[in-house]
Amino acid sequence: LKINLSFKNFEKISKLRNKAIKEGVLVRSDSDKVTGSISYKNKNYPVSLRLKGDWIDHLLGEKWSFRAETKNDDRFLGMQEFSLQHPRTRNYHNESILHKLLKYEKLPYLRYKFLPVSLNGKYLGIYALEEHFGKELIENSGLREGPIIKLSEQDKRNEYKRMLKIGKSDEYKLGNYNDTSLNNADIQTFNLNKISKNKEKTSQYQLGSTLLNEYLRGNLKASDIFDISMTAKYFALTDLLQATGANTWYDMRFYFDPISARLIPIGYDAQIPYLISKRSLSLDQNVLKLFDDQFFRSAYLKYLYLFSE
């Protein structure tokens, strides 16, 4: 896969990368994107491109991470938006194993593969290609198109940058500041510009976000808003792999099924370890307080037993 950028656009990307390295975090804006193209198997795709990743592990050396989006409703390997990143940022092969298992269990999954990549003629080695969150992901997973919802980590990232600016990074590590939590983070959706042009999709997003908000306020039970079977299966599967990175509130993404009006987790950024010295369970962490619901807890234990067998 060949990435082609003009000298001017490559310089812009380079300056943003150097700024992020200096500040210790990549803070994005709408003006970060540049235009370019990618070519693969003798076909050319016009794209918009930006640096990708919250933390600078995505920007080390010359092998930077990118988010690409094809133009003119074109698709690259069936995807309109995707990431290209050093396999190290997803623990090499481990992330691909998660998505193979999610697919096998008929849960939402990301297309994930490894490709050799060059930038402006310079070979950079093998990259991990990871599908981004859009309707193509849902359709490829064999599900009815519906919004993908998340709790925003934007304020958390901005607060980290603010602490660095005022020289109090140690206080940040100690948690001695006003952090963003699942109780005060925005509930957002992906591709809002596209969704807002369609009344049906807008109403689906509004319903999904309202249900999640009511759940976080303690007015609904987990079994009222989550697909119990698929969510329990998801958590048992991530426990099997010890994919703890996938189950932090600010990294979780949920597909809202417009037919059943239920949320289903989408596996992402799992950070599966190479060696496991001590196992932990989602039951112990009680992510989003899901395990307070006896119906969910019962389904989870059933799948935990099934997978461990």
pLDDT in tens, 51-99: 998 778 899 889 999 999 999 888 999 999 999 999 999 989 999 999 9
User: Cα separation of 182 and 185, whole Å?
Assistant: 6
Distance between CA 114 and CA 92 in Å, rounded?
10
Supply the pLDDT for residue 193: 80
pLDDT in the model for residue 23: 78
Joined together, the tokens standing for residue 131 give: 């599908």
Q: What is residue 51's predicted lDDT score, i.e. its pLDDT?
A: 93
pLDDT value of position 245? 74
| 132, 82 Cβ separation under 8 angstroms | yes
- Tokens at 153, concatenated: 């980590």
- HEC sequence for 2-39: EEECCHHHHHHHHHHHHHHHHHCCCCCCHHHCEEEEEE
Supply the Cα-derived Rg of the chain in whole angstroms: 20
Burial tier of 242 (Cβ tally within 10 Å: 0-12, 13-18, 19+): middle
For CA atoms 287, 291, 295, 296, the dihedral sign is positive
* Residues 6+ away with beta carbon under 8 Å from 22: none
pTM of the model: 0.89
- Residue 203 tokens read as 């109403």
The C-alpha atoms of residue 203 and residue 4 are separated, in whole angstroms, by 39
- How far is it, in rounded angstroms, from Cα 179 to Cα 173? 11
Backbone angles phi, psi at 128, to 5 degrees: -95, 125
What is the structure's pLDDT at 176?
58
Q: In the Cβ-directed half-sphere of 132, how many Cα atoms lie within 13 Å? A: 19
Cβ-contact 1, 35 below 8 angstroms: no
**Of 243, 233, 228, 309, which is closest to residue 274 (Cα–Cα)?**
243
Q: Are 10 and 37 in contact (CB under 8 A)?
A: no
Q: What is the pLDDT of residue 173?
A: 58
pLDDT recorded at residue 175: 58
Closest CA to 201 of 156, 276, 147, 246: 147
- Cβ pair 255, 217 in contact under 8 A: no
* Cα-based distances in Å from 260 to 110, 145, 206, 207, 224: 22, 12, 15, 12, 11
* Token pair recorded at residue 216: 């976080």
pLDDT in tens, 258-272: 999 999 999 999 989
Per-residue pLDDT tens listing for the chain (309 residues): 999 999 999 999 999 999 888 877 787 777 889 999 999 999 999 999 999 987 788 998 899 999 999 998 889 999 999 999 999 999 899 999 999 999 999 999 999 999 999 999 999 999 999 999 999 999 999 999 999 999 887 666 667 667 767 766 565 555 555 566 777 788 889 888 888 888 998 999 999 999 999 999 999 999 999 999 999 999 999 999 999 777 887 788 999 999 999 999 999 999 898 888 888 999 999 989 999 999 999 999 999 999 999
Residue 113's alpha-carbon distances to 85, 123, 238, 299, in angstroms, are 11, 18, 20, 32
